[in-house]
Amino acid sequence: MIDEINTKISEYISYFVNTHESTKNHKNYWREPIVAFADASDPLFSRLKKVVSPEHFLPSEILRNCESVIVYFIPFKGDVVQSNSKGLRSSKEWAEAYILTNQLIVRLNRFLSEKIQNMGFETVEIPPTHNFDEEKLISYWSHKHVAYIAGLGKFGLHKMIITEKGCCGSLGSIVTDLKLQPTDRPKNEFCLYFYNQSCAECVEKCPFGALGIDDFDRKKCYQVCLSNAELHSKIGYADVCGKCSSNVPCSLKNPVREDREKLDGRKVRK
Ligand code: SF4
Ligand code: SF4
């Protein structure tokens, strides 16, 4: 029964992304989303608060009696990623995809909330972005860490989450007191650097020196993002960069799975 509800929720997310109204007026930016579910009492939430950011909320601090966190990744299409692979500034298409995906996530969370509330449960919709202190750059709710806890993907050297559909796209999440089956966390690494050190393309592609093998200058990176927000201010607010994630092995897929399947002589699934 719980598995059936998980499937239903995944189908709602898929349906909403595939039929979203902005696809009528704008280019369609998205591939099929992927979804994962975390147990709200997973000890990694407390660990995240203790070790990574004391400011980070526990699911139960957002919704009393919270049982589950639903996390999804909406991957960008290849041409959006390609458009951002050259030059120092974010492409207009990349900035537009970011803005429209954030709007999509707000509407999708509303839609999901209604469906779950109709089943008799409570929800809290988490905003897609700017859940952080702009001075300290510390998150109150990190979709990336929550996606990791839910088993949606693994961190890459570029500090982003790599999913089975890569890292270029946006994450959304919603909390609920509906009990859902938690997704198993993947055991293998998804980043080629952490897997066998065969890649560091993200580091090479950061033109601003913000990303190194062993370090990440969060403030420098955020300044670059703010300068892109200014550049693209006519189309909305896009504090993005993405040079380190565009046109690299993990942009659109989990490169480790492909590598392992090639090594094993098995067919690579798309
Ligand atoms: S570009 Fe290579 S090293 Fe960087 S995160 Fe992706 S797979 Fe890992
Ligand atoms: S987002 Fe831009 S500035 Fe930040 S690490 Fe990646 S390439 Fe560098």
Among 10-24, 90-104, 178-192, 225-239, the least confident range: 10-24
How many whole angstroms from 51 Cα to the centroid of ligand 1?
Answer: 24
Q: Cα dihedral sign for 43, 47, 49, 50?
A: positive
**β-bridge pairing 68-75 and 169-176:** antiparallel
Mean of per-residue pLDDT scores for the chain: 92
Q: Dihedral (C-alpha) 138, 131, 75, 219: value to the nearest 10 degrees?
A: -40
Do the beta carbons of residue 199 and residue 167 sit within 8 Å? no
> What ligand is nearest to the CA atom of residue 248?
1
pTM of the model: 0.93
Report, as an integer, the average pLDDT of 61-85: 97
Minimal-distance CA residue to ligand 2 atom 8: 206
Query: Ligand 2, atom 4: nearest CA belongs to which residue?
Result: 221
Pocket lining: 20 vs ligand 2, CB cutoff 6 Å: no
pLDDT over 80 (residue 131): no
Contact 56/48 with Cβ under 8 angstroms?
Answer: yes
Residue from 157, 159, 188, 247 to probe ligand 1 pocket by mutation (most atoms less than 8 Å from CB): 157
Q: State the Cα–Cα distance between residues 74 and 107, nearest whole angstrom.
A: 13
Q: Which residue has its alpha carbon closest to ligand 2 atom 3? A: 221
Which numbered ligand comes closest to the C-alpha of 166? 1
Q: Which atom of ligand 1 is nearest to the CA of 194?
A: 8
Its sign, for the CA torsion 232, 134, 143, 221, is positive
CA 115 – ligand 2 centroid, Å: 37
If you average pLDDT over residues 140-155, what whole number do you get? Answer: 96
Distance from residue 242's CA to the centre of ligand 2 (Å): 6
Identify the nearest ligand to the CA of 85 by its number.
2
**What are the Cα distances from residue 225, in Å, to 66, 81, 217, 241?**
34, 17, 13, 5
Query: Which band of pLDDT confidence, cut at 50, 70 and 90, is reported for residue 270?
Result: very low
Q: What confidence tier does 244 reach under pLDDT thresholds 50, 70, 90?
A: very high
Give the residue-averaged pLDDT of 80-96. 95
> Worst-scoring range by mean pLDDT, 109-118, 130-139, 249-258?
130-139
CA of 77 to the centre of ligand 2 (A): 20
Residues lining ligand 1, Cβ inside 6 A: 156-158, 191-193, 199-202, 248-250, 255
Atom of ligand 1 nearest to the CA of 251: 6
Instruction: Output the CA 205–ligand 2 centroid distance in Å.
Output: 8
For a ligand 2 pocket test, name from 160, 202, 208, 217 the mutation site with the most ligand atoms within 8 angstroms of its C-beta. 208
